[in-house]
Amino acid sequence: MEEKRGEYPVKMLVLGGCRSGKSRYAEEWVSVRFREKVYVATLEDLGDGEMARRIALHRQSRDKGWRTLEEPLAIGRLLAGHDGSAEVFLVDCLTMWITNMLMRDFPDGQIEAEVFGLVRTVEQLASSVVLVANEVGLGLVPDTALGRRFRDLAGWTNQQLAQVCPEVVFVAAGLPLRLKG
């Protein structure tokens, strides 16, 4: 872990593939630097037993110092409405957020508007924020239109947030690689 630098508020994007260690890295990074921590969870338990187990494991992995807010869609509004109520927000994960909107049949224009709203919120937050997302552009081209739409929207979302976050870290095999900052 890097030393605490005193540059606040922190605006960081943590990217990585599935099971790369990006969430663990982000949680540990936040835990050693902040006392008042809010975990913003975008994953929903929709009755899938396997997903419910994943959610339970995520909850158990966080120490007691975390407050959790669950929000599948309105991340920008949630952050803006709670700004100043904690030192830092950890949003995990933007990729699931995009999936939630796709599964509710949001058109691309509405998803893009939500992303731009989140970008504006991140720029204006007085609290620090660490955003976690999957890097989905390193794999095969999906063979379905929905898969390609998801990949394109997720990649575009990551680009928009990387532009406004002074710190961007890529995690592979649990190892962080600083891309920006």
CA-closest candidate to residue 137, choices 167, 161, 166, 157: 157
C-alpha–C-alpha distance, residues 67 and 60, integer Å: 13
Residue positions counted in the chain: 181
Both structure tokens of 24:
């663990």
Of the listed 8, 17, 31, 58, which one is catalytic?
58
Phi/psi for 20 (5° steps) reads -85, -15
Identify whether 58 is a catalytic site residue: yes
C-alpha–C-alpha distance, residues 140 and 136, integer Å: 9
C-alpha–C-alpha distance, residues 132 and 108, integer Å: 21
CA-closest candidate to residue 115, choices 102, 98, 93, 128: 98
- Sequence-distant (≥ 6) Cβ neighbours of residue 133 within 8 angstroms: 13, 14, 15, 93, 94, 95, 154, 157, 158, 161
Catalytic machinery residues? 58
